[in-house]
Amino acid sequence: MTDLLQETEATPASYPASPSGLSTPAAALDAEMIWERIEAYTRTRYTAREVVWTVEGGEGENWTPPLSPVASHTAEKWESGAWVSTALPDGPVGLCLPSDGVFKVTAQVGAGDPPRAVSEAFRRLAEYMADDTDRAGVSSYSVNMGGAIQESYQRSAAHAARALQNSGAADLLRPYRRQK
């Protein structure tokens, strides 16, 4: 069994453009912050960046990079206290390890336009996060009309942390979900 020992993902030079149709408050949010949340949840990348994986496995074992699409890759094997260049041929499922050991795979990952479901997830998450003064994430709501109108909301302390799920974005991203 091949084990992923370490993953280091560089920040891309840019992220995809924000989808159209955002409200003014949602469009004012930092789009990079929204994309970072989406990418933390998904395995597909839409802009190029370098990713370095360190994997350990046996001869003939297959390893599939957990992020896609992989545009190109190089590999090194740890031998006698140093990294030595090697080749990882394509296998039936991912890359094939040529021998037992620890390998470092450096890849260029990311390309293409986000599908409509991912753009809609961006929109839902942005609208949810921009809804600071209204009811996004409310766990309790009350109205008191006894003499004077009074309205109050209570939010869970975790409402921002659960924004991906509470906004409905996570449901749209399910086919792209990252498995760890």
Distance CA 98, CA 177 (A): 29
- Per the DSSP assignment, residues forming a β-bridge with 112 are none
The total number of structural domains in the chain stands at 1
Task: Read off the pLDDT of each residue in 50-72 and give the average, rounded to a whole number.
Answer: 97
Inform me whether the pLDDT recorded for 142 exceeds 70.
no
pTM of the entire predicted model: 0.82
pLDDT at 180 over 70: no
The three-state secondary structure class of 140 is strand
Q: What's the pLDDT tens digit per position in 110-136?
A: 999 999 999 999 999 999 988 765 555
pLDDT tens sequence across 88-110? 999 999 999 999 999 999 999 99
Q: Please answer whether residues 153 and 138 qualify as being in contact, where contact means their C-beta atoms are separated by less than 8 angstroms.
A: yes
Q: How many CA atoms lie within 13 A of 99 on its CB side?
A: 9
Structural domain harbouring 36: 3-176
